[in-house]
């Protein structure tokens, strides 16, 4: 079975030394009393839960999978999942960052972010059951009526009930314009909802007393297109006025999707047969509320791949230190052994360092996003709230796509370190690869995220938000531009920032003439943007490490951070040069290909 050690030291570095989150919280009345000791103590306990409760269920859950009883539509999760969830609820973990008004503990989202990274690293399948509830909770918290909030949020905060999002239909995935699920108004103000949804993660299970589905559907008199979509609460069990559970609602699992990975999570085909639903928000404006959940889910999926990157790296580096194979090209290193450990070989180190650089860069981005979300909601300054929301909107598709792309690269590379043992189940590495590949598709494919970034988030506002991120880079360049020790980190991001501004302008002009030019460049563009963001954070992390070393701090952590930063800029960041070329290569070689597909 794979092992896992929660990366608490690196989480603490990012939170307390890089972003100084306690200082940020001090200006928010909601979190003014939250200090470093509190955060660290909570996360230490979270790490114990991940390693002691969910990790042992990861490989067994993958092997066993979920079972559907066609007669009763009951889904049974793998052995131990239900009991682990009971422990999770009993310990209060679902309420960690919840609103105290609904029974939450009110801790900062950054704490929940780190908790979820550790849980995902230990067992992504299990973590998706409670994980999706956070998005449903957020949508209802933002758009639900007072009655809906009082009815559902207390139970969802406590973990007694879980939540899902029901969007996709068999004939339409991202293109919700084609959606067919119908909602018919009833005299009592409810709706009868009929249709079919697919790929619904945690759509049915035996872990919680009720499942609160948020379902997109069209009212019978709605206009066509995206402006005719509404959002409804459709609980598995109807809820009585006093909060108790009533009759079984007409929503049930008609089948389980047999996926390449995350076998322990029930990905369901959901059938709605006159299910009772209540409207969330305004009629025909369901996407406003659903985007709250979708954006949270996109950040969550990025975080899933971050967890997989970390756990794959840990197991690969442990194997590379132990496995002996051949001799070092530069001379024998382990004279007392028949061969050297494979960690002495340059390519093995490249595979390992790639995973480490992507894990630590991804952690910085994920924690930064959670801090932005906190500031968007709770900072006393209105302009800070607005700026934080805009920056988070820009970084959401980057977080989802770049972290899941990197998770696939890292997990595949770590499997490669194991050689033939990598694709043997007992080592656990092939499961990380299978799970990581799915994340690139979940919650909008990475191509969709790329179109969202370039088309909507950048060209849609003439690069205004991108320029704001550019100001962060410019401030760092101005601060460290004359520091020779920082040159290897500062010069690349300054150069790329300038080149990206020119590329964005060029693509904007080309896209104005032919929209396919944006589609042809978008995936490459997002990866360039991802490296610009990672480059900025890696430069800042190198800055902190250099200052600590200069001050006489002998903790090897800082030397390791500095060496990883150097590797990232030398071996991974230069990918942007080829991406610039392919982004500029245009749509013609893609679209003028009728003869190829004839």
**Three-state DSSP class for 197?**
strand
Q: How far apart are CA 326 and CA 337, in angstroms?
A: 10
The label of the residue with tokens 């790490």 reads 47
Residues in CB range of 442: below 8 A, 6 or more apart:
201, 297, 301, 404
| DSSP string across 22-34 | HHHHHTSGGGTT-
Both tokens of 316, joined, read 């690969």
Residue 267's pLDDT band, with cuts at 50, 70 and 90, is: very high
The confidence score (pLDDT) of residue 290 equals 84
Classify residue 459 by its DSSP letter.
Answer: G
Helical ranges in 336-428 per DSSP H: 346-378, 382-417
Percent of the chain scoring above 70 in pLDDT: 100
Residue 236's pLDDT band, with cuts at 50, 70 and 90, is: very high
pLDDT over 80 at 176, yes or no: no
Q: In angstroms, how far is the first alpha carbon of the chain from the final one?
A: 49
Tens-digit pLDDT profile for residues 492-551? 999 999 999 999 999 999 999 999 999 999 999 999 999 999 999 999 999 999 999 999
Both tokens of 106, joined, read 């009110």
pLDDT over 80 at 177, yes or no: no
pLDDT over 80 at 189, yes or no: yes
Tens-digit pLDDT profile for residues 34-58? 999 999 999 999 999 999 999 999 9
The confidence score (pLDDT) of residue 171 equals 86
Residues in CB range of 34: below 8 A, 6 or more apart:
22, 25, 107, 108
The confidence score (pLDDT) of residue 293 equals 86
Tens-digit pLDDT profile for residues 452-506? 999 999 999 999 999 999 999 999 999 998 999 999 999 999 999 999 999 999 9
- Going from N- to C-terminal start, the domains of the chain cover 461-598
In 10 A of CB 435, how many CB atoms?
A: 30
**Three-state DSSP class for 218?**
strand
Percent of the chain scoring above 90 in pLDDT: 95
pLDDT over 80 at 173, yes or no: no
Tens-digit pLDDT profile for residues 81-118? 999 999 999 999 999 999 999 999 999 999 999 999 99
Q: pTM for this one?
A: 0.97
Q: Which is the catalytic residue, given 169, 204, 430, 443?
A: 443
Q: How far apart are CA 408 and CA 196, in angstroms?
A: 31
Q: What is the mean pLDDT of residues 555-583?
A: 98
Q: What is the mean pLDDT of residues 225-244?
A: 95
Q: What is the mean pLDDT of residues 326-344?
A: 94
Q: How far apart are CA 392 and CA 371, in angstroms?
A: 9
Phi, psi of 67 (to 5 degrees): -125, 135
Average predicted confidence (pLDDT) for the chain? 96
The label of the residue with tokens 């200006």 reads 27
Assign residue 189 a region: left if phi > 0, alpha if psi is -120 to 50, beta otherwise?
left
Residue 230's pLDDT band, with cuts at 50, 70 and 90, is: very high
Q: Is 443 in the active site?
A: yes
Helical ranges in 418-483 per DSSP H: 429-439, 446-451, 464-480
The confidence score (pLDDT) of residue 1 equals 84
Q: How far apart are CA 186 and CA 137, in angstroms?
A: 26
């Amino acid at each position: 079975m794979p092992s896992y050690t929660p990366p608490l030291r690196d989480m603490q570095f990012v939170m307390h030394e890089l972003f100084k989150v306690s200082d940020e919280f001090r200006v928010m009345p909601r979190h003014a009393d939250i200090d470093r000791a509190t955060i660290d103590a909570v996360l230490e306990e979270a790490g114990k839960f991940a390693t002691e409760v969910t990790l042992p269920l990861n490989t067994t859950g993958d092997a066993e999978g979920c079972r559907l009883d066609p007669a009763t539509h009951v889904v049974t999760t793998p052995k131990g999942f239900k009991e682990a969830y009971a422990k999770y609820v009993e310990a209060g973990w679902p309420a960690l960052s919840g609103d105290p008004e609904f029974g939450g503990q009110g801790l900062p989202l950054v704490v929940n972010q780190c908790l979820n990274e550790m849980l995902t690293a230990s067992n992504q399948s299990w973590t998706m059951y409670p994980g999706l509830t956070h998005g449903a909770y957020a949508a209802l918290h933002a758009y639900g009526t007072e009655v809906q909030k009082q009815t559902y949020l207390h139970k969802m905060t406590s973990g007694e009930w879980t939540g899902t999002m029901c969007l996709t239909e068999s004939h339409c995935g991202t293109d919700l314009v084609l959606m067919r699920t119908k909602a018919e108004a009833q005299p009592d103000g409810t709706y009868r909802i009929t249709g079919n949804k697919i790929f619904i993660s945690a759509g049915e299970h035996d872990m919680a007393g009720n499942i609160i589905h948020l379902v997109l559907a069209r009212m019978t008199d709605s206009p066509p297109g995206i402006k005719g979509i509404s959002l409804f609460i459709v609980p598995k069990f109807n809820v009585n006025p006093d909060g108790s559970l009533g009759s079984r609602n007409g929503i049930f699992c008609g089948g389980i999707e047999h996926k390449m990975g995350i076998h322990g999570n029930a990905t369901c085909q959901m059938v709605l047969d006159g299910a009772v639903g209540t409207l969330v928000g305004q009629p025909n404006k369901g996407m406003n509320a659903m985007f709250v959940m979708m954006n949270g889910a996109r950040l969550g999926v990025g975080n899933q791949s971050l967890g997989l990157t970390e756990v794959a790296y840990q197991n690969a580096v442990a194997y590379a230190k132990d496995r002996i194979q051949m001799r070092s090209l530069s001379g024998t290193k382990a004279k007392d052994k028949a061969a050297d450990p494979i960690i002495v070989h340059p390519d093995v180190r490249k595979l390992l360092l790639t995973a480490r650089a992507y894990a630590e860069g991804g952690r910085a981005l994920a924690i930064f996003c959670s801090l932005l979300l906190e500031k968007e909601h709770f900072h006393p300054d209105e302009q800070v709230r607005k700026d934080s929301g805009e920056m988070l909107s820009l970084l959401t598709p980057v977080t989802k796509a770049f972290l899941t792309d990197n998770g696939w690269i890292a997990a595949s590379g770590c499997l490669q370190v194991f050689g033939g043992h990598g694709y043997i189940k007992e080592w656990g590495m092939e499961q990380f690869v299978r799970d990581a590949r799915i994340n690139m598709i979940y919650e909008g494919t990475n191509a969709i995220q790329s179109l969202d970034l370039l088309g909507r988030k950048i060209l849609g506002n003439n690069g205004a938000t991108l320029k704001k991120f550019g100001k962060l880079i410019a401030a760092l360049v101005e601060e460290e531009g004359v520091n020779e020790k920082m040159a290897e980190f500062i010069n690349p991001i300054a150069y790329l920032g300038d080149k990206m501004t020119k590329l964005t302008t060029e693509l904007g002009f080309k896209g104005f003439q032919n929209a396919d030019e944006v589609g042809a460049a978008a995936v490459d563009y997002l990866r360039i943007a991802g490296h610009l963001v990672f480059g900025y954070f890696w430069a800042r992390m190198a800055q902190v490490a250099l200052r600590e070393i200069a001050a006489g701090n002998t903790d090897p952590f800082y030397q390791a951070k500095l060496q990883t930063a150097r590797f990232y800029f030398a071996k991974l960041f230069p990918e942007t040069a080829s991406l610039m070329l392919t982004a500029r290569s245009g749509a013609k070689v893609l679209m003028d290909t009728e003869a190829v597909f004839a």
